[in-house]
């Protein structure tokens, strides 16, 4: 698969309104569906499918970025738990679903994919508010 065929590779360009940050090894965007407040996607700049495809130093740096983002989401949203999903079965490009979870959710404590839910789309200014809050903690 070349980069133009990959949904993750295209997402940074196509969803500019959801961009949170460009980090050293990855891109961070807010997920359009905010059924889980603060749900973000962090994906590698390089189109790779497995962690072992990365140079050791890049892999270590990437894991630091995942942790840094999770801490920022925890600070902004004060969830009960942060969930991390790294699958790649549907989109063969390393990407984490980093999802703040709350005990008050209808799906708690089950995985976010335990049952279907209606998408929760925000007003444009609400996306901006979430993104600005996350950015302010990351800096």
Q: Residue 38: which of 92, 83, 94 has the closest Cα? A: 83
Q: What confidence score (pLDDT) does residue 1 get?
A: 58
pLDDT band at 58 (very low <50, low <70, confident <90, very high): very high
Given a cut of 70, whether residue 16 has pLDDT beyond it is: yes
pLDDT at 132 over 90: yes
pTM of the model: 0.95
Strand pairing partners for 40? 30, 98
Is-cis flag, bond preceding 109, omega within 30?
yes
- Number of residues in the chain: 139
Query: What letter would DSSP give residue 102?
Result: -
Question: Stretch 113-133: mean pLDDT, rounded?
Answer: 97
DSSP letter assigned to residue 46: S
The predicted structure's pLDDT at residue 49: 95
Output the pLDDT for position 2.
61
pLDDT tens across 74-97, in order?
A: 999 999 999 999 998 999 999 999
- Within 10 angstroms of residue 42's Cβ, the number of other Cβ atoms is 25
């Amino acid at each position: 698969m070349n980069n133009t065929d990959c949904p993750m590779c295209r997402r940074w360009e196509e969803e500019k309104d959801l961009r949170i940050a460009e980090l050293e090894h990855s891109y961070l965007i807010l997920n359009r569906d905010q059924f889980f407040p603060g749900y973000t996607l962090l994906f590698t700049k390089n189109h790779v499918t497995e962690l072992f495809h990365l140079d050791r130093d890049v892999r270590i740096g990437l894991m630091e970025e995942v942790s840094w983002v999770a801490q920022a989401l925890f600070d902004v949203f004060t969830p009960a738990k942060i969930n991390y999903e790294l699958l790649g079965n549907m989109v063969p490009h390393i990407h984490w679903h980093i999802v703040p979870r709350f005990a008050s959710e209808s799906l708690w404590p089950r995985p976010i994919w335990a049952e279907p839910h209606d998408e929760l789309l925000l007003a444009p200014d609400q996306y901006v508010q979430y993104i600005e809050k996350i950015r302010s903690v990351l800096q």
